[in-house]
Amino acid sequence: MSQQTFKSASKRYWRAFVPTMVVYLIATLAGSFYLKTFDVEPTWLQATVAVACTLPMLLFLFIQIRYFLETDEYNRMIQLKGFAIGSGITVGAIFLIGFLQMFHVIDRVEVFWFGPAFFIAYGISTYLLGGRQCL
Amino acid sequence: MKNIIKALRADRGWSQAALADQLGVSRQSVNAIETGKYDPSLPLAFSIARLFGKSIEEIFEDETATDAKLAAE
């Protein structure tokens, strides 16, 4: 069993999660405001804003995986099952929508929305597997 | 896997949260083990046995072995 207890793993998770989400919100709001308000050129500057918005999300994924490793074994099982089911649903949706687009059944879908869709699928799966306490 | 954790815990007057604290796991983990929804790992089973001063076999019932024994009889 890990030396980290469930409580200390949860505390560590929330201490890292909240500031990361605040940074993500600030980066996306400020980034989209900056790009919409001003006529931003060149492309590398737009790409830099996009990378700045993505970095907190990558950090969040790192925090989430660290929590999987540090939490107790039952929660780890529920979280990993939820993560796997959420990933499966999202990848399935990507294939389905990709083929529908390829065969001209539907119009273009913004790739961005697969990110939030994954987190929704992951959250719902985890809830169904372990109840509200496991979220 | 059936177990007598709920009874042992009740004997000592501990809540699920109190037992979870002593084991370093979440309350929902204790609940899942008590209700048989989750079988603990060997290290956690040893921690539970040590906490109650009993052996693993006294706390957890190996249903597969019991069924096999009954079938043999």
ipTM score: 0.83
Q: Looking at residues B49-67, what average pLDDT do you find? A: 88
CB contact (8 A) between residue B27 and residue A134: no
Domain B2-72 has CATH 2.40.50.100: no
Confidence of residue B64 (pLDDT cuts 50, 70, 90): confident
Q: Is the pLDDT of residue A116 over 70?
A: yes
* Eight-class DSSP state of B61: E
The answer, for A133 touching chain B at a CB cutoff of 8 Å, is yes
| pLDDT tens figures, B13-44 | 999 999 999 999 999 999 999 999 999 999 99
The single-letter code of the amino acid at B71 is: A
Helix (H) or strand (E) holding B31: helix B27-34
CA neighbor of A100 nearest in space, from A112, A109, A91: A109
Contact B24, A5 (CB under 8 A): yes
Neighbouring residues of A100: CB distance < 8 A, sequence distance ≥ 6: A106
The answer, for B28 touching chain A at a CB cutoff of 8 Å, is yes
pLDDT at A134: 59
CB contact (8 A) between residue A72 and residue B21: no
Helix (H) or strand (E) holding B2: strand B2-3
The answer, for A98 touching chain B at a CB cutoff of 8 Å, is no
As a whole number, the mean pLDDT across chain A is 90
Nearest CA in chain A to B29: A74
| pLDDT tens figures, A2-54 | 456 888 999 999 999 999 999 999 999 998 888 888 877 788 888 988 999 99
**Which of A4, A5, A6, A127 is the best substitution to test chain B (most B C-beta atoms within 10 A)?**
A6
Using DSSP bridges, classify how beta strands B60-61 and B2-3 pair: parallel, antiparallel or unpaired.
antiparallel
Confidence of residue A135 (pLDDT cuts 50, 70, 90): low
Percent of chain B with pLDDT over 90: 81
* Domain boundaries, given as residue ranges, for chain A: 1-71, 73-135
Q: Looking at residues A64-68, what average pLDDT do you find? A: 94
Q: How many CA atoms lie within 13 A of B25 on its CB side?
A: 25
